[in-house]
Structure 1
Amino acid sequence: MLNTFQQADHPALPKATADEAARQEFTKSFKGFIQSTLLPGLTPIYQTRVARKFEKDHGRAPADRRDIRSGMVGDIYFQHYAAANRIAQELLWESVNGSVDRQLPELIAQAKALSASTKAQLVIPEGFTPPRYVTALDIHCMPGGYCSEVCEDDVSVGALYDRGVYLYSMGYTGPNNDDMGRSVVNYIKRHMPDFKPRRILDMGCTVGHSTLPYKELFPEAEVWGIDVGGPCVRYAHARAAGFGLEVNYAQMSAEETTFPDAHFDLVVSHILLHETSGKAMPKIFAEAHRVLAPGGLMIHADLPPFDLMDPFTQFILDNETWYNNEPFWGAMRDMDQIALAEKAGFNRADVKFDTAPMAVMEFAAAAEGYSQEASEAVAEREFTAGEFAPGGGWEVLIARKPLAQKIAA
């Protein structure tokens, strides 16, 4: 499907000059070329060259993604693909960084004004220390990561992320970058129409892309987004106000929040888990269980575990681990998340994986002038966009907190 979307403007978004916009559009198109033209070439290269050589050298066929990688890294076609992908990633951030730096004073002033216009809370505690797994490197090559601050009241990495992630996804997260939240919201509407949470927590919200659809679906609910990046939640608070939505934001770790026990009816996250660590992930599950009210839902939306894929697809996706500063990307997919949820206090019978179809199909249908009924039908179709959201949906881990916990003897 040809993606013709453009990012929707809003009051907090950096405004690009004509030259900056052209550079940004080039980086998006370059990523599209890599995904549509170079990526498909990896399959025949593997089948006709690499797999045969591996079997000749080892006396057996490649057994898993690690075997496949050991063969592919020496092939010149793969080297060309991997280098182009990394260069495209660095270029897209650089194309936005200049725009953000040029107008940072104006962006900060605008964010302050927007935040002052809403009654929603913004909590930035003094002395907060982000976890090292977030600050030790620039995740997905984004300069400064999520937490770097260059001045007082800084929003720069938030603004950088808002525009940059749209280019990274080549527009497939929709005009407001909110496909993951909207996809989960649609899943709730279709499968749990009577579920009406009073309080909602979005863990690892970055700039609130996926937080806002929950406020739209449940306008009476108290909604909180938390993230370890101060500039991100400052920007998120202003961004929500720019959309006319009252959503509370706080700089806080999903491993240990300051909310009371049993405070929320719904706890969600969107592409948070693969950016944590093996020690942090169990703590996040336990914290979600603690702050959930009995009968409440925990929903983590990410990409599918590796055991649901063939080894070659695993190898393709694991390139993010090796070449895009995502060190926990592959390890997270190997973890037994259902067992982690059970250990955190959820009953195994109340934990499952499911797929939330990408809501971006609704944007596509609307763009083509379809009726609402046709839009919903198109949204159910399987959709593939290269490495981004393969298979047409987000994998969601869903767990319901028991109404009554068993008391140990």
Structure 2
Amino acid sequence: MTGMLNTFQQGIHPVLPKPNHDEAARQEFAKSLKGFVQGRLLPGLGPVHGSRAAKRFEKAHGRPPADRHDIRKAMVGDEYFQHYAATNRIAQELIWDTVIDSIERQLPALEAEAKALSAKNKAPLETRADFPTPRYVTALDIHCMPGGYAEAETPDAIAAGALYDRGVYLYAMGYMGPTNDDMGRSVANYIKRNLPDFTPANILDMGCTVGHSTLPFKEAFPDAEVIGIDVAGPQLRYAHARAAGLGLDVGFMQRDASATGFADESFDLIVSHILLHETSGKAMPAIFKECHRLLKPGGYMIHADLPPFDLMDPFTQFILDNETLYNNEPFWGAMREMDQPALARAAGFPADSIRFDTAPMAIMEFAAAAESYTAETTESLAEREFTAGEYAPGGGWEVLIAQKAVK
């Protein structure tokens, strides 16, 4: 996997913070360190568990580890696991730190550019300084991102969006593609293939941050009105300018996914991409109910994330649950234990319309089709397995799909 780290470089657009030579070197080091943790340290956890940690647990408890909680008890005292967890956390914090210098050095110019680009975007931008941001967003720095998604509001604030845009590319180690849009592109491709007669005219992306996953829906359905919503104003201002810089008229509005304020039956398609695990146990059922209210009859709700725990073995659950404990993702594990189909049924979706499926990764398909990519590149992508972190999928993204009944 290490050889794949530099296959994809981030695509340039007008509001992306541009590192100088030294900043770029530090950012590349941070990305490579993340790759080293994933590709070299992480694979050692399985043998450590099997050869010694599980045996210590069984000796102490008279039985082998039964679930991810037992596995964690067996592993946390092991020096190898401690080395892995500490290095992974350092790599995560370093990613953000290496980007901040670039942003601070050119922030006035980026704010001016964003303002000019937003004026060219024909779709709406709506933010408000007094927006009541949910506590699950403001209580901690999600992903260890300094300041969190929703920085202090000023009329032109975009720094959090710029940090997220560049930082997420490094966090994903380039595997989300040049514009960090693999999730949205994968879901849009899935819809085109599996619902060929479905042509949504109004599309809503919930929890859009800077619109990475929003823009592919405008490309896939150019005649549709596409709106991205988020609770963080700086992300939305950056997203609106970013969309214009990439040549797309997409609207962005500061709304809470659990209570959007849009009229009933406003949308044909509602999507989200790694949103649900960053909400809360109270917000998630409300989001499903809001999706049902907002959809037109026959419309679809599609939430893309990683699989629930019952689709994973206990050791994989343990690995992924490290995000809960060490990456400021408090709802990560709890969300994967919730019965999502049951929540969808409770929200009003017919049981026979609800299912989990896999949307193949668009970047894998692109690499397989492009003559410029080597067989080694394509094979490396295809062989990736779920390891750790939301940007470490195997062959595709898990999607929860539900369709509102036709009257």
Offset of residue 101 of structure 1: 1.1
The separation in 2 between residues aligned to 1:172 and 1:178, in whole angstroms, is 10
For 2:394, what is the secondary structure of its paired residue?
helix
TM-score after normalising by structure 1:
0.95
Would you say the 8 A contact 2:136–2:280 is kept in 1? yes
Q: Residue 325 of structure 1 aligns with which residue?
A: 328
The separation in 2 between residues aligned to 1:86 and 1:260, in whole angstroms, is 43
For 1:390, what is the secondary structure of its paired residue?
coil
TM-score after normalising by structure 2:
0.95
Alignment-mate amino acid for residue 385 of structure 2 = T
Offset of residue 106 of structure 1: 0.8
Q: Residue 407 of structure 1 aligns with which residue?
A: none
Q: Residue 18 of structure 1 aligns with which residue?
A: 21
The separation in 1 between residues aligned to 2:47 and 2:381, in whole angstroms, is 30
For 2:167, what is the secondary structure of its paired residue?
helix
* Correspondence for 2:57 among 54, 57, 63: 54
Alignment-mate amino acid for residue 358 of structure 1 = M
Would you say the 8 A contact 1:361–1:379 is kept in 2? no
Tell me, yes or no, if structure 1 residue 72 matches structure 2 residue 75. yes
The separation in 1 between residues aligned to 2:110 and 2:373, in whole angstroms, is 37
Q: Deviations over 1:302-343 (max 9, x none)?
A: 000000000000000000000000000000000000000000
The separation in 2 between residues aligned to 1:379 and 1:73, in whole angstroms, is 31
* Correspondence for 2:347 among 344, 347, 353: 344
Would you say the 8 A contact 1:303–1:389 is kept in 2? no
Q: Residue 121 of structure 1 aligns with which residue?
A: 124
The separation in 1 between residues aligned to 2:386 and 2:309, in whole angstroms, is 18
The separation in 1 between residues aligned to 2:297 and 2:76, in whole angstroms, is 49
For 1:326, what is the secondary structure of its paired residue?
coil
Q: Residue 39 of structure 1 aligns with which residue?
A: 42
Offset of residue 47 of structure 1: 0.2
Tell me, yes or no, if structure 1 residue 112 matches structure 2 residue 105. no
Q: Residue 312 of structure 1 aligns with which residue?
A: 315
Q: Residue 164 of structure 1 aligns with which residue?
A: 167
The separation in 2 between residues aligned to 1:30 and 1:101, in whole angstroms, is 24
The separation in 2 between residues aligned to 1:143 and 1:342, in whole angstroms, is 38
The separation in 2 between residues aligned to 1:197 and 1:204, in whole angstroms, is 19
| Aligned pairs (5 A) from 1:117-266 | 117-149=120-152, 151-266=154-269
Alignment-mate amino acid for residue 401 of structure 1 = K
Alignment-mate amino acid for residue 52 of structure 1 = K
Offset of residue 384 of structure 1: 2.9
The separation in 2 between residues aligned to 1:208 and 1:366, in whole angstroms, is 26
The separation in 1 between residues aligned to 2:316 and 2:394, in whole angstroms, is 11
Would you say the 8 A contact 1:303–1:394 is kept in 2? yes
Unpaired stretches in structure 2, ≥5 consecutive residues? none
Would you say the 8 A contact 1:36–1:386 is kept in 2? no
Offset of residue 194 of structure 1: 1.2
Tell me, yes or no, if structure 1 residue 282 matches structure 2 residue 314. no
For 2:103, what is the secondary structure of its paired residue?
helix
Offset of residue 258 of structure 1: 1.7
For 2:203, what is the secondary structure of its paired residue?
strand
Q: Residue 384 of structure 1 aligns with which residue?
A: 385
Relative to structure 1, is the Cα distance of residues 368 and 32 closer, same or farther in structure 2, using a 3 angstrom cutoff?
farther
Offset of residue 367 of structure 1: 5.5
Task: Give the aligned length.
Answer: 400
The separation in 2 between residues aligned to 1:379 and 1:119, in whole angstroms, is 41
The separation in 1 between residues aligned to 2:84 and 2:155, in whole angstroms, is 40
For 1:55, what is the secondary structure of its paired residue?
helix
The separation in 2 between residues aligned to 1:186 and 1:161, in whole angstroms, is 25
Q: Deviations over 1:148-194 (max 9, x none)?
A: 13643100000000000000010000011000001101111111111
Would you say the 8 A contact 1:305–1:333 is kept in 2? yes
Relative to structure 1, is the Cα distance of residues 343 and 382 closer, same or farther in structure 2, using a 3 angstrom cutoff?
farther
Query: How big is the alpha-carbon RMSD for the aligned residues of Structure 1 and Structure 2?
Result: 1.8
Q: Residue 356 of structure 1 aligns with which residue?
A: 359
Relative to structure 1, is the Cα distance of residues 293 and 111 closer, same or farther in structure 2, using a 3 angstrom cutoff?
same
The separation in 2 between residues aligned to 1:263 and 1:382, in whole angstroms, is 41
For 2:397, what is the secondary structure of its paired residue?
strand
Would you say the 8 A contact 1:274–1:328 is kept in 2? yes
Would you say the 8 A contact 1:270–1:301 is kept in 2? yes
Would you say the 8 A contact 1:125–1:251 is kept in 2? yes
Unpaired stretches in structure 1, ≥5 consecutive residues? 405-409
Percent identity between matched residues is 69
Relative to structure 1, is the Cα distance of residues 88 and 126 closer, same or farther in structure 2, using a 3 angstrom cutoff?
closer
Q: Deviations over 1:5-41 (max 9, x none)?
A: 1001011101111110000000000000111100000
Q: Deviations over 1:115-154 (max 9, x none)?
A: 0112110011342110000000000100111111364310
Please identify runs of 4+ aligned residues in structure 1 that moved more than 4 A. 377-382
Relative to structure 1, is the Cα distance of residues 10 and 128 closer, same or farther in structure 2, using a 3 angstrom cutoff?
same
The separation in 1 between residues aligned to 2:305 and 2:63, in whole angstroms, is 34
Alignment-mate amino acid for residue 342 of structure 2 = A
The separation in 2 between residues aligned to 1:287 and 1:380, in whole angstroms, is 36
